[in-house]
Chains A and B, each alone.
Chain A
Amino acid sequence: MRYEGNDLNKVLYVEDDADIRAIAELALQDVGGFSAKLCSSGAEAVEVAPDFQPDLILLDVMMPEMDGPETLKALRKLEATQTTPVIFMTARIQRTEIEEYLSLGALGVIPKPFDPMTLADEIRRIYQELA
């Protein structure tokens, strides 16, 4: 399924849980038609991002070592991802938390658990509304 009329194609998803990565890959590539790259840590994302040049980055919030917000800070220092839109994925949806992420410059927040069949639509919706 090709998505016409927007420039959203390459999606980078950073997530420490291998099972979630596997299902996210299906949700983004097979269901959503994106070209997706999965990373298991913030450090890996920093390494991969310059070559991959993502159009959008999905960040899990709670990760060991570098958490979501820290990863965002590190990615912002790279030329390739200085302004790339970022969406946080989190199981804790609290108003204060959402506000905090938005103030960090995130485009939006998607609650976990996500539905693999509609994740891509949700991403496109947020992207089109705000980007």
Chain B
Amino acid sequence: MTTEAHDQLQKRLKLLQDRFVERAQSDVETLGRFARQIEQQQLSRLGLVECYQLLHRMAGSAGTFGLPKLGAAARSIENQLKPVVEARDRQTDSPDDPIALPADLAMQIHELTELVQKSDVQTKPETADEHSHQVEDAYEGSHGMQVQVMALAHDTGYLSGLMADLQGYGFACDLVSLSESRAAIENLKQRSGATILLCQDSDLADVLRFRTDHIEKNEHRRFPVVGIGRQNTFESLYRVAEQGATAYFSEPLDMPALAERIESLALERGSRPQGRVLIVDDDKELGERYCLVLNNAGMKTKLVSDPTKMMSALSAFEPDIVLMDVQLRAHSGVTLARMIRYEPRWLGLPIVYLSSEDNPEVQLDALAKGADEFLVKPVTDEYLVRSVRIRCYRARQLSDLMNRDSLTGLLKHSLIKQEVERELARCRRSGQFSCVVMLDLDHFKKVNDTWGHGQGDIVIRTLAHLLRNRLRESDTIGRYGGEEFLVVLSDCPIEQAEELIDDIRARFSELVFTSGDDSFQVTMSAGIAAINDFPLASEAIEAADQALYERKQAGRNGVTVYQRQDRDQDD
């Protein structure tokens, strides 16, 4: 094809894409009406079918017109509707009878609007195969911590309600029938993090076989299988464990416990950066080789070949562990290790020596002077990766124990305050806008008094899960007080912060907690302040707290943004 013909073609493609976007916008409006009917529990069977068909068409066409994310989102909703549509096909109720669907579906439909509006259409459309990858990329950026759950079943009806509940916790959920799992496999293979495979105990053998058949053995770790069943006897549990399920929950399901297990599995099994390693070695080539080997294994590295730069590299890079050459040309590694320990914040930092010294007495001497372990050179690549990875993992576990709140797994009070300070510094450096949010559960004392402290703890943990799932990895979340949370939204303008937090507030208010036969709901309030507006981190926190107080006075279950006082404008 000539260049001219090619340009001509591109122009026409662009024209068609524009036309499609227009139509998609009107389709999304129509879908929005259905979503409102879902919210009001007024969607008729006819409406359901129409909605389903519209989504199906969108799923099949949006990718061709350069809107793969829209297509993928439509397909995900279509898949959730499918069991309902098919179940209804078999029933004989009147086509006008309203159908009950989870409110979260309506939310997902509303979110399609954003995908059409925000879309800057790609000139090169994506094929079906590239799809899931695209979505994956989007998740990395927008809510990097979102946990992926895929339910597999022969009969998807049983798990559909559970999946809707899990979506309420903020997980990205797919429900797939084992007889049509092909697309699911492709989808799974493209994912970079962990995905929890959920199934009934009766399907367990088939799901495990599915995993064996379609996923490489060394990848199985990323796809742990969680069984759900009705039995809770020793024999049934033993059978489940024998088959190889990673976790098992029996009915009646303890939803917060299940959500927590899913989340911790996802965090533990994800293939996200597995550690940060600072390498101190003045043999540049050797050091670079270590870096390469560790990078290939998914770890982040930084090489310091000039020991005088070591201390500043430590603060800038904040490693999980240090790999230290014992004998550098002009310096001793042992002395450098002792220097590192001069700084209180590095007292707990594991230091591992790389040494050709195999005399145990000399090793012991070095250990006494502040190193944690020896790796004797030459080390094989595999051994290096394994020993560094395991030390990073332990170091992280240990620092989590020290730095994180035991109930929620969020950062403790003192650390989250530090995070606000760091963010303020980052804003000054890069010119980005960030926000600090103070969140508080409404009438929490009443929850404790009415339902007991155990239930109160569950409410707190649930909000922590929701926050973790809805926020990006670059955001920081801490437990500030009893029922107070402090969130730092990095590189997030205040309008966007307000929208985001209000969305979380709305989702949280919809969650239903159960205690025995009773159920209850809890709301939260939030105050937001723009970090950039304040000279000190503590003032930004105070302003967010002030906004929270105003929100509580003006009626709870809402979000208030701190308004700058007049005196600030004199600055």
Interface residues of A (CB under 8 A from B): 1, 17, 19-20, 22-23, 26, 30-31, 62, 90-97, 111-118
Q: Which residues of B sit under 8 angstroms from A116, Cβ to Cβ?
A: 13, 64, 125
Beyond the given A1-B1, A94-B179, A94-B182, please list 14 additional residue pairs across the A-B interface where CB-CB is below 8 A.
Answer: A19-B23, A23-B20, A23-B65, A30-B5, A62-B56, A91-B60, A95-B179, A95-B181, A112-B61, A113-B60, A113-B64, A115-B64, A115-B125, A117-B125
B1 touches A118 (CB 8 A): no
B126 touches A26 (CB 8 A): no
Question: What is the distance, in angstroms, from A81's C-beta to the closest C-beta of chain B?
Answer: 24
Q: How would you classify the secondary structure of chain B's contact residues: helix, strand, loop or mixed?
A: helix
Question: What is the distance, in angstroms, from B155's C-beta to the closest C-beta of chain A?
Answer: 15
Using known A-B contacts A113-B128, A118-B127, determine if residue A30 contacts B182 with beta carbons closer than 8 Å: no
Q: Which residues of B sit under 8 angstroms from A30, Cβ to Cβ?
A: 5, 9, 12
Instruction: Pick the 7 closest A-B CB pairs, nearest first.
Output: A113-B63, A91-B60, A94-B180, A112-B60, A113-B64, A115-B127, A111-B128
Residue of B nearest to A19 (CB): B20
B179 touches A112 (CB 8 A): no
Chain B 1-43 per-residue mask, 1 if CB under 8 angstroms from chain A, else 0: 1000100010011001001100100000000000000000000
Residue with the greatest number of chain B CB neighbours at <10 A, chosen from A19, A31, A95, A97: A19
Q: Is B71 an interface residue (CB 8 A)?
A: yes
The count of residues in chain B whose C-beta lies closer than 8 Å to any C-beta of chain A is 32
Q: Which residues of A sit under 8 angstroms from B71, Cβ to Cβ?
A: 113
Residue of B nearest to A97 (CB): B180
Q: Is B124 an interface residue (CB 8 A)?
A: yes
Question: What is the distance, in angstroms, from A125's C-beta to the closest C-beta of chain B?
Answer: 13
Interface residues of B (CB under 8 A from A): 1, 5, 9, 12-13, 16, 19-20, 23, 53, 56-57, 59-65, 68, 71, 75, 124-128, 179-183
B64 touches A112 (CB 8 A): yes
Q: Which residues of B sit under 8 angstroms from A22, Cβ to Cβ?
A: 16, 19
CA distance A1 to B6 in the complex (A): 11
Question: What is the distance, in angstroms, from A24's C-beta to the closest C-beta of chain B?
Answer: 9
Residue of B nearest to A114 (CB): B64
Residue of B nearest to A90 (CB): B60
Using known A-B contacts A113-B125, A117-B125, determine if residue A26 contacts B13 with beta carbons closer than 8 Å: yes
Residue of A nearest to B68 (CB): A113
Using known A-B contacts A19-B65, A96-B180, determine if residue A91 contacts B59 with beta carbons closer than 8 Å: yes
Q: Which residues of A sit under 8 angstroms from B65, Cβ to Cβ?
A: 19, 23, 113
Q: Which residues of B sit under 8 angstroms from A94, Cβ to Cβ?
A: 179-180, 182-183
CA distance A31 to B5 in the complex (A): 10
Q: Which residues of B sit under 8 angstroms from A26, Cβ to Cβ?
A: 9, 12-13, 16
Q: Which residues of A sit under 8 angstroms from B68, Cβ to Cβ?
A: 113
Question: What is the distance, in angstroms, from B435's C-beta to the closest C-beta of chain A?
Answer: 37
B125 touches A96 (CB 8 A): no
Using known A-B contacts A1-B1, A26-B13, A113-B61, determine if residue A93 contacts B125 with beta carbons closer than 8 Å: no
Question: What is the distance, in angstroms, from A128's C-beta to the closest C-beta of chain B?
Answer: 20
Using known A-B contacts A19-B23, A113-B62, determine if residue A91 contacts B56 with beta carbons closer than 8 Å: yes
Q: Which residues of A sit under 8 angstroms from B1, Cβ to Cβ?
A: 1, 31
Using known A-B contacts A113-B71, A115-B127, determine if residue A95 contacts B60 with beta carbons closer than 8 Å: no
Q: Which residues of B sit under 8 angstroms from A62, Cβ to Cβ?
A: 53, 56
CA distance A97 to B179 in the complex (A): 10
CA distance A14 to B1 in the complex (A): 26
Question: What is the distance, in angstroms, from A9's C-beta to the closest C-beta of chain B?
Answer: 18
CA distance A122 to B522 in the complex (A): 54
- A selection of 30 A-B contacts at a CB cut-off of 8 Å is A17-B61, A19-B16, A22-B16, A23-B20, A30-B5, A30-B9, A31-B1, A62-B53, A91-B57, A91-B59, A91-B60, A91-B75, A93-B182, A95-B180, A95-B181, A95-B182, A112-B63, A112-B64, A113-B60, A113-B62, A113-B65, A113-B125, A113-B128, A115-B63, A115-B64, A115-B125, A115-B127, A116-B64, A117-B125, A118-B127
Residue of A nearest to B64 (CB): A113
Using known A-B contacts A26-B9, A62-B56, A91-B59, determine if residue A112 contacts B16 with beta carbons closer than 8 Å: no
Question: What is the distance, in angstroms, from B56's C-beta to the closest C-beta of chain A?
Answer: 6
